[in-house]
Amino acid sequence: MSVQLINPDGVVNLPVHHQASVATGSRIITLAGQVSWDAGAQLVGKGDLAAQAEQAYHNVATALQGLGASTDDITHVTVYVVGYTRATGKQVMEGRQRAADRLGVDFQHPGTFVGVTSLFDPDYLIEVQATAVVD
């Protein structure tokens, strides 16, 4: 495997993600931010942040698969959430876990949550951007 997820000594160890990744592959994949579109570019989960998070993470996994990679190759994710609060953060984590369960994968990669006032369409509540490294 080209990516090792770790929690270095001296930093907090949280059960929801790792603090660092070490990648040794030769090909870098940078995905555009994934929103809650289905394959036909239709919004999934209007007004439901957890449903939108589930679809956005599903889209990340699908895009990686189409490039010959998997979620195991993710080195970092950046998650943009409209109106981020602790409550919305919990909804994102719920949707992320539902996607992980549905796909049989783990989404505990190093990541950053960014609260934003809006995305490109007012109905979109979340966007997930990912970087991966593969051999």
pLDDT in tens, 24-67: 778 898 999 999 999 999 999 999 999 999 999 999 999 999 99
CATH architecture of 3-134: 2-Layer Sandwich (3.30)
Spatial separation of the C-alpha atoms in residues 131 and 124, rounded to whole Å: 21
Q: Phi, psi (5° rounding) for residue 134?
A: -130, 160
Quote the pTM value.
Answer: 0.86
Domains in the chain: boundaries: 3-134
- Is the pLDDT at 86 greater than 80, yes or no? yes
Q: What is the pLDDT of residue 124?
A: 97
